[in-house]
Amino acid sequence: MERRDFLKKTGMAAAAVAGTAISAPSVLAKEKTYRWKMVTTWPPNLPVFQTGAERFAKRVEEISGGRLKIKVFAGGELVPPLGVFDAVSQGTVQAGSGASYYWAGKTPAAQWFTTVPFGLNAQGINAWFYSGGGLKLWEEVYAPFNLVPRPQGNSGVQMGGWFRKKMNTIADYKGLKMRIPGLGGKVISKAGGTVVLLPGGEIFTSLERGVIDATEWVGPMHDLRMGFYKAAKYYYYPGWHEPGTCLEVMFNKKAYDSLPKDLQAIVDAAAMETNMWSLSQFEAGNGAALQELITKHKVELIRFPDDLLDALRKLTKETLEEEADKDKMSRKVHEAFKKFKEQVGIWGSVSENAYYNVIADKFSLKG
């Protein structure tokens, strides 16, 4: 009798398992499909930035088995490029892609989550976000606006910018009209320059017509495509103002919270994957593009003079303290950033920095 009872129970359990296996696909098929709209600040087809946002959407759909579909609109196609923050915050759309320093007028603390002049490089800022508490702070800053932020890309160290005249001393910034956003723009203002904030699609025309005297954008791969060499002769480095520029994807909190936990995990993972993919694209493409700018288009590549960089560094320290004093959250973020930068810098001085100094003389530009 015990044997019969055992076989009976075993058979019932097997039948239950078999029933689950048979019904699982039909259950999944009936699960809700979410359809989102995503707007960006980027021009249509802009490599890595706009195509990265589109790649993110595609990956979310693939990994979710089609349960979350995101339609992506470039800047101006659905909302103005600099209207992304409000559109996502108000729930007009569910997601947006841009750079957090565009939203300094909404909350000054947002600027630290894109890049800080003379601050962390891509490796450092990723460490701060994922392992040093930076992402939690970012979420705290965006919470009052009903937004959930995630890193979604990084350009790495950028170039110093394109100038129509040579930059020899800090005095050369006086009266200079330059397209440069974020904290770097605040430094230029402090140096006597006039900062003009323009979306990517308007920069070349403004530079060509003399509406601005200089611009920064990203690095050789993008700058070559944008054609800035046709409008400005001098190409400066290093990009002291943007040493590791993080791109963002932000979600309307109500929309994000409405997703099942597994879909939340999928959008988070896809954002992290796109973050790594973007940096890899820039690291792979910038070298060849720089060679082309120099050899084919005869661009004059110039390093900022040391005295000029020292002056900019001093102005940066003053600017950061002034910006941090604007509200309690900015001060909180600034202090956390400074602490982590010092922690990372101790290691970086004997690892990355020391290594590059050793191999630096092995590389040369073909001019």
161-242+287-326 has CATH 1.10.40.30 classification? no
pLDDT tens-digit series, residues 203-255: 999 999 999 999 999 999 999 999 999 999 999 999 999 999 999 999 999 99
Asked if the domains at 33-154+244-282 and 161-242+287-326 fall in one CATH topology, the answer is yes
| Topology of the domain covering 33-154+244-282 | D-Maltodextrin-Binding Protein; domain 2 (3.40.190)
The helix or strand, by DSSP H or E, that contains position 249, with its residue range, turns out to be strand 246-252
pLDDT, residue 360, reads 72
pLDDT, residue 3, reads 45
**CB atoms inside a 10 Å sphere around CB 190:** 17
pLDDT tens-digit series, residues 104-129: 999 999 999 999 999 999 999 999 99
Domain ranges of the chain: 33-154+244-282, 161-242+287-326
Q: How confident is the model at residue 197 (pLDDT cuts 50, 70, 90)?
A: confident
Residue 357, class by beta-carbon neighbours within 10 Å (0-12 exposed, 13-18 middle, 19+ buried)?
Answer: exposed
Amino acid letter at 129? F
pLDDT tens-digit series, residues 280-292: 999 999 999 999 9
**What secondary structure letter does DSSP report for 172?**
G
234-237 and 177-179 strand pairing: unpaired
Average pLDDT, the chain: 91
**CB atoms inside a 10 Å sphere around CB 260:** 14
Between the alpha carbon of residue 231 and those of residues 145, 197, 234, 291, the distances in Å are: 39, 18, 10, 19
